[in-house]
Amino acid sequence: MRHQLLHLSERLRASFWVIPALMMITAIILAQTFLAIDQRWDIHHIPGLSWLRLRDPDSARALLSTIAGSTITVAGTVFSITTVALTLASNQFGPRLVRNFIRDRRTQVSLGIFLSTFVYALLVMRGVDARGPDNRQTLVVSFALLLALACIAYLIYFIHNVAQSIQVDNITFQINKEFRGALDAIYPTEECRDPRNHRKDLREVNLGEDCLCVPAKSGGYVQRIDRQKLIDWAAEHHCSIRMECHPGTFLFHWSCVARVFDPPRNIDSKRISDAIQGAITLGPQPTAEQDVIFSVRQLAQIAVRALSPGINDPFTAYTCIDRLIDGIGVILQRPPLPNCFYDDEETLRLVTSELDFADVLAAALDEIREYGRDSGVVMRHLLNSLNALAELCTQRDDRHAMKFLIQRLMEDCANSVDDKFDNTALQKQLSAMRKNLS
């Protein structure tokens, strides 16, 4: 249930309509509440509040009509500005970045306050009109004025937010923030680790020969895997599960998502498949919920576009490289992800397909290396960053992954960097790094 609630929260956060819809519902409730209060009590008789009362209902309706007309006009302008920002982000930084703009709560609240003010003014105007010339409209109209002032403030704030949000430094900062959040959730610290679970070489894990292949429920990206649900189910039915996918994997409808070893004989294969499939959430696109590669590829996409001949902006590539290396360094400072999970009786119940450091390193830098290998300045910045990262490589497999990347970089520099001085300097630096990793 907890995983389902977290996934629902992530989906709602990525929806552009949720916050505005909630604000409009709140506006409807407030309108009816304030109309009832004004009808029951004469607020303007309270000492100090007599100045709030308008002369007649026509004045109230005229003011409310002005507020309603202006706010719906500005709401259309806000929507247009948002659409332009989304188009700019998609063209300049890649379509994967559109999701970040849609998730921006500040934009959602800005649109919501204009729409909710419009709804409030319309409902109150109808209520004032229905109650005739003897009505009391002190509270409802005063709150409408307060909302109008808030709209003015939010319009200024919205323009400031859009101007800030399309700056590449702020974009990479927000992606790196999401990247670090995903790392904290996926890569636990030593204190938070479950001592029962650990990482093994999967070639040494023998679960037996009798197994049932569980097909994918449909095609799509794996967004979330509820490991605890799988462990509990396997413990209940005295079997073991080996996952054949991980968050971020694209599954074809015929793909095998898991293998159940020693499957229960008293349950048919359809029910077993339904139980395993129920713990795997698929969607039309990957998310950062359990997939660190998603944020990595967002940063890599910005860097690759910056290195394209049409843009040719190495400084943006520098920023992306710095953010990527900063996040990858966190992985090296955390314990390796466990891939073998045990139940309370310390029986192996779940074997997962987890990404290792080499996979993350390749996803982060392969495209940047491919598109930036003919630029001496980009390669030099990449090597300086990798040199700092190499200091954290204490495990044998991590050093091997770094040495493999350095070997690829040496070949790229030899074949693609035309400037002789740059080539010599890069080869010397690469040789020193490889020697330090040996």
23 band by pLDDT with thresholds 50, 70 and 90: very high
Provide mean pLDDT across the span 351-372.
89
Give pTM, 2 decimals. 0.81
142-156, 225-239, 318-332, 403-417: segment of lowest average pLDDT: 403-417
Confidence of residue 129 (pLDDT cuts 50, 70, 90): low
In the three-class reduction of DSSP (H, G, I as helix; E, B as strand; rest coil), residue 268 is classed as coil
Pairing of strands 240-243, 340-342: unpaired
Cβ neighbours for 431, distance < 8 A, ≥ 6 positions apart: 410
C-alpha distances out from residue 148 to 28, 64, 65, Å: 16, 10, 12
pLDDT per residue over 285-299, tens digit each? 888 888 889 989 999
**243 pairs with which residues across the strands?**
258
- The average confidence (pLDDT) of the chain is 84
Res. 51 pLDDT band, cuts 50 70 90: very low
* pLDDT over 50 (residue 113): yes
Residue 367, C-beta contacts closer than 8 angstroms, at least 6 positions apart: 300, 301, 303, 304
What pLDDT sits at residue 17?
83
